[in-house]
Structure 1
Amino acid sequence: MQVDGLGPVPDPTTAVVDSVLTALMAVGRTMRQRVEGDDLEPGVFWLMKNVASRGPLRVTELASCTNLDTSTVSRHVAQLHRAGLLERTPDPDDGRAHRLQLTETGRSRLHDAFERRRTLLRRALGGWEADDVAELDRLLGRFVTDIENVDAELEHA
């Protein structure tokens, strides 16, 4: 058996893993696309969400919690700052450093972007039974926890 022309699949577990990988890539691609009315760059959406949920952060902390390179985060932070979506405040623990937080405009734009994606997901799940939606939520939560644990193990190995 072949999957997407990538060669033979040796066992059923690999076929399931490949199917999950393909599904995750499709969902990720959809969530990264601009939704009608969206003016946020897809690359900054995840950063803004983390700044909003974790409070004022240093660039290095933001890079760490998003698993991105500090130089990449710095470029995005500069873009967000220029756009008036993010502000830098002096770090009370280190006068040489700054902490990042969203401006009111940034919070509003992030909220709007999230709402558009919620609408998309609500429409996709609209024909599902409530029990199926709850089961999907439970399994995705478990999956995220497990994959984060494996990722952390690999980083410390």
Structure 2
Amino acid sequence: MDGTFDADDLARLRIALARIARALDRQTRGAELTRTQASALATIARLGPLRISELAEIEGVNPTMLSRIVGKLEDGGLLRRSQDPDDGRAARVEATAAGAAEAARLRTERTELLARHLASLPPDEAGRLLIALPALESLAHHLKGTT
């Protein structure tokens, strides 16, 4: 390809990816967590103790809003906040056992939901989606660098 893309095709790709992400999210996170809370919890559980400023950068959320999100997750027993041992002015957050279990549950449910729906597609369509994974991962990597 020469680097030019049809605007309609780009819109279809954007819409399809957004719908897939929203459907997986909506059908697995339950009523207790918002999308942003579930994302923050997953990031903390995956990456381990993080400074709130690091988490804000990863999640693309301003630190003030993130502080409120962390507070709600902490109140729910899913996160623990502590003083950063390297910088007493900074706070770090880490998942509690309950938080790690909740993040694992969400990840498992999303994987199982995706597997069920892929299995319901015609085999050639499911195969084409899996073949496209390296390109989608590359796109995700490039988009991450622009946020």
Aligned residues: 141
Q: Is the 8 A contact 2:78 2:95 kept in 1?
A: yes
Match of 2:110 in 1: 117
Alignment RMSD (CA, Å): 2.2
| 2:48 counterpart of 1:26 | no
CA distance in 1 between counterparts of 2:142 and 2:30 reads 35
User: SS state of the match for residue 26, structure 1?
Assistant: helix
- Give 1:46's match in structure 2, choosing from 35, 39, 42: 39
Contact 1:34 1:40 in 2 (8 A): no
**Corresponding position of 1:138:** 134
Measured against aligned partners, the alpha-carbon deviations of 1:107-151 in whole angstroms (never above 9, x if no partner) come to 0011111111111100111143574343132221111122223x1
1: CA distance, partners of 2:5 / 2:84: 52
1:51-95 Cα distance to aligned partner (Å, 9 max, x none): 122221111110001111111211110000000000012211112
Determine what percentage of the aligned residue pairs are the same residue: 27
Contact 2:73–2:79 at 8 Å: present in 1 too? yes
Return 5+ residue gaps in structure 2 as ranges: none
AA of the residue aligned to 1:125: L
Tell me the residue number matched to 2:61: 68
Divergent runs of 4+, >2 A: 34-43, 127-134
**Which has the higher Rg, Structure 1 or Structure 2?**
1
**Greater RCO (CA < 8 Å, at least 6 residues apart):** 2
CA contact (8 A) 2:24 2:114 kept: no
Gaps of 5+ in 1: 1-10, 153-157
Equivalent residue number for residue 101 of structure 1? 94
Query: TM-score normalised to the size of structure 1?
Result: 0.79
TM-score normalised over the length of structure 2: 0.84
